[in-house]
Structure 1
Amino acid sequence: MQRRTTLGAACALLATMAWSMTAQAQSSGAAPLIAVTNLAYAQQVSEYFVAGTYQQSSQMSAQGSHSYGRYGGSGQQSMQASEQASGTYVAGRYSYIEQRDLAGYTNDIKGAILQGTSFKLVQGKAFDAGAPQPSKAEQVLNQVQTGKMHTPRAQPQVNDVIARIKKGEFNGADYVLFGSVSSIDFTDALSPLQGTSSASRQYGLQLLVDFSLIHTKTYEIKAAFSAQGSGNDTKLLSNRGDIAPPNRAKVMRETSLSLAQDVYQQLVTQLGYSDPKLARGVHTQQPGIYPAGQPMTPAPVVQQPPEQVLILK
């Protein structure tokens, strides 16, 4: 009797372990796949163009006659001239929208998602801007020579995430975290220190990005928010006329880290309200990053003392 009980308990334990392993495998296999896109960026660009052709040819000939004596012979005199000229000259300023994606501010976002959630990430394709358009000078010159207007080719839109999903740029992803830059601002200020011959130079970067978490099958938006990143570098100059280049790498790194922190905080907080199933994938609290349901309290920023630059003359 005791042997049967022990055997039954062992079988029950094995069944429990098998069920636990199966449930864990199913749970890990059900983790949503997310593609984090490069930041979409569009800006207006203006360029000056000149288009012109010019041809010129000229020809001239002259003949004369002479007479000898009073009853001498006489000659002939003639002159010919020919000139041809043709030219086209067109100049102006042309403005257009340049579309591209920035790849330098998404790695920290991916790292925060990998460290703080059970979501899996897949690599999407870079934005395909299509075949390049002829320059404005080439378009105008072709119009002058042939008399035909140039028909512009349709270019893909970097902010049209639905078209990019349909095009297959994020194959295999269940969701796309799409970010579009709405503002990017570099600052460079020199401030004299009163009462001294020194000055402080402050170089900074402010980045504002609009994000949306979109389902690739239903195009449902699970989260939508704006996130901000910022970084700065301050140097104390021994003399106001001295020049010290800023540490741009430090500024960009601080901007990327602060942007990733803001994205993570807002993403997991909104998922706690819009989709509890996705919110259950948040499993850890990172330093300065808070899981769903927690208030978005900014992490304390450690102020680094300004770098003092002494220039010996």
Structure 2
Amino acid sequence: MKQLIALLLLGLAGLAQAAPKVAVTDLAYEERVREYIRIVSAHSQAQASGFAASASSSYNEIEGTYSYVERGELRKFTGDIKGEILKSRMFQLIQGKPYTAKENEGLYDVIARIKQGHFRGADYVLFGTLADIDFRQDLNDIANTDSYSKVLGLTLVADFSLINTRTYEITSAFTAMGEAQDVKLVNGQDIRVTPNRGRVVREVSKALGEDVAAQLQEQLLGNRPADFGNPPGGSPLPADEAPVILR
């Protein structure tokens, strides 16, 4: 019996070793920001010479709008994605390097980031981009009462690509969504009740993580890549560059 248990444990250990390593990025976002500007410049000058005096003045006004593209990483909502991936036992997790370059111009260039060593030790990178995030607040009458329902809702949609760090092939691609709401019943005398924003964010994060893990399993197990589960070999990393593996 002890030998059987030992063999089972060895088998499980072998499966864990065979699991490919994946780095999960924070959700990248890009949005166009518009700002209104108004510049006023006024100048006056007076001169006196003997019995004569002169004065001059100028006034300039410029107004308009300008826009720019803001890029960055949303450092939320990925904790539950990592947790659900760990539960699935499909991957080992590698801690990637946060993107910190100025102006984030290369944020979406995942291939360049792989080549620069941002995901050392990873066989795959799960790259997520924010497609839409929407907070909603509603106050609704409840028929035949003097009460209201106060609703805070949040929907988050993100696009994901699973990229092979050796071949740069997109192994899996999908859109995932997390959605949740908090409802408070209030009477007509007091509508200042505050919905639980933290709980809504937590539930959206969990729902998003479950959706991501489910779609990864569906795509990878249903159409398993030839090299999936057999990570590409390579020379060992120096001790000071060894990847951090989350289990």
**What TM-score bracket applies, with the shorter chain setting the length?**
0.7 to 0.9
From 182, 188, 191, the equivalent of 2:131 is 182
Tell me if structure 2 keeps the 8 A contact 1:41–1:158.
no
Instruction: Name 1:121's counterpart in structure 2.
Output: 93
- Following superposition, the deviation at residue 61 of structure 1 comes to 4.1
Correspondence for 1:262? 211
Q: Is the 8 A contact 1:46 1:93 kept in 2?
A: yes
TM-score, with normalisation over the residues of structure 2? 0.79
% identical equivalent positions: 43
* Distance across 2 between alignment mates of 1:175 and 1:240: 56
Tell me the distance in 1 between the aligned counterparts of 2:130 and 2:45: 55
What is the DSSP-based 3-state SS (H/G/I as helix, E as strand, rest coil) of the residue aligned with 2:155? strand
Output the CA distance in 1 between the equivalents of 2:80 and 2:13: 28
Q: Find out whether 1:103 has 2:75 as its counterpart.
A: yes
What residue in structure 1 maps to residue 170 of structure 2?
A: 221
Contact 2:29 2:129 in 1 (8 A): yes
Secondary structure, aligned partner of 2:191: coil
CA distance in 2 between partners of 1:232 and 1:279 (Å): 38
After superposition, the C-alpha distances for 1:142-186 in whole angstroms (9 at most, x for unaligned) are: xxxxxxxxxxxxx61433322322333222211000111111111
| Aligned counterpart for 1:233 among listed residues 170, 182, 191 | 182
One-letter code of the match for 2:93? L
Aligned to 1:198: 147
The higher relative CO (CA closer than 8 Å, separation ≥ 6) is in 2
Mean Cα displacement is larger for which, 42-51 or 205-214?
42-51
How many residue pairs get aligned? The number is 225
TM superposition shift of 1:206: 0.6
User: Structure 1 59/159 Cα, relative in aligned 2: closer, same or farther at 3 Å?
Assistant: same
2:191 matched to which residue of 1?
A: 242
Residue 37 of structure 1: aligned partner: 25
**Residue identity in the other structure for 2:222:** Y
Task: Tell me the equivalent position of 1:47.
Answer: 35
Change (3 A) 1:280 1:234: farther
The CA deviation at 1:32 is 1.6
SS at match of 2:29: strand
- Using the size of structure 1 for normalisation, the TM-score is 0.64
Give the Cα–Cα distance (whole angstroms) in 2 for the partners of residues 172 and 89 of structure 1. 57
Cα offset for 1:82? 4.3
Change (3 A) 1:201 1:25: closer
> Secondary structure, in 3 states, of the residue corresponding to 1:267?
helix
Q: Deviations over 1:89-117 (max 9, x none)?
A: 43211112211111110001111112221
1:221-272 deviations in Å (ceiling 9; x for gaps): 1111111101110000111662211111010001000001111111011111
- Offset at 1:121? 1.2
Question: Judging changes above 3 Å, is the alpha-carbon distance between structure 1 residues 88 and 122 closer, same or farther for their aligned structure 2 residues?
Answer: farther
C-alpha distance 165-53 of structure 1, shift in aligned 2 (>3 A): farther
2:201 is matched with 252
User: Would you say the 8 A contact 1:35–1:123 is kept in 2?
Assistant: yes
Cα 1:240–1:181 change in 2 (3 A) is farther
Larger Rg: 1
Instruction: Provide the C-alpha distance between the structure 1 equivalents of 2:12 and 2:204, rounded to a whole number of angstroms.
Output: 38
Q: Deviations over 1:273-302 (max 9, x none)?
A: 332664799xxxxxxxxxxxxxxxxxxxxx
> Is 1:93 aligned with 2:65?
yes
Q: Which amino acid aligns with 1:238?
A: N
The yes-or-no answer on 1:57 pairing with 2:29 is: no
Superposition pairs for residues 164-179 of structure 1, below 5 Å? 164-179=113-128
